[in-house]
Structure 1
Amino acid sequence: MPTLTPLQKRAARKARNHTDLDMNLVSLIDVFTILIFFLLSNSSEVDILPSTKSVRLPESTAEVAPQDTLVVVVSPEEIIVDGKTVARVADVQAAPTDLIAPLTAALQQQQATRRAVRAENAPLSQVVTIMGDQSIPYQLLRKVMTSCAQAGFSDVRFAVRQKVEKT
């Protein structure tokens, strides 16, 4: 067996201990950092109301964030609770009374399923948000609010779009 020089011995040791797995952790850490910042910036405290293309919300300068409540959508053609059409606007406007019976029944059914577990959350179970198109007449809005009050919802709120201030 030939004698190896110290340089050759060192090269042989390096080749023997060398593995083919070479992992660069710096780029992996960069990717995870970007991912964490992306997730943190996109998880906000704002609740998103259901979006319907047929409802154009009025604008407001209100800065209070919406809460998770039962939403009644009033479009120019129909009244919707929990994604289900409960009444047609033309039929409601033609009715002589201020009470919309199908809406009241749907709201009472929703309130029965939305009971608060904790006592401090009980007032939130009596809150309803009305997403009304900006062009609906006040008489229709009054009928919807009367039906909500008759169903036991003591706190009626209106959904609006936040007005963007131009600077």
Structure 2
Amino acid sequence: MAKRHSKNQNLMAQNRKARHDYSILQTYEAGMVLKGTEIKSIRAHRVNLKDGFARIRNGQAYLENVHISPYAEGNIYNVNPRRDRKLLLHKREIHRMADAVQKKGITLVPLKIYIKHGFAKVLIGVAKGKHEYDKRAAIKKRAEKREVARYMKHY
């Protein structure tokens, strides 16, 4: 019987700050064009999404400013860790993303990188930046929810 992998085992990197700083309006799953030893670094969880973003150029989507550390045993086959990586999406998805980004305050943010059926995938979120008061309200709402759950647990 084949081993079943949970989602947490396949999760390679996550941008937790993105959900705090942005309201995610819609998400898209995209493949990435990787070179050489980059997939080995991703499988070793050597990825940083913190400052990353996606951009549409010439009808193609690119993942920019995402740091994939050079593979330790890769020597001459390693590439620039912050290079732009092409995203593999359907043309209509790229058009939808491009239309969304035209609006003020909307950006494309990588939310997580994971392995699916042996291929590295990135979850791209169409996001709108939150104001400081929105962030405080979200924190307050989360605390209230936790308090209610704690109360309900005893009864």
Give TM-score scaled by structure 1 length: 0.24
Looking at secondary structure, tell me which structure has more strand per residue.
2
Higher Cα radius of gyration: 1
Looking at secondary structure, tell me which structure has more helix per residue.
1
Give TM-score scaled by structure 2 length: 0.25
Higher relative contact order (CA 8 A, sep 6+): 2
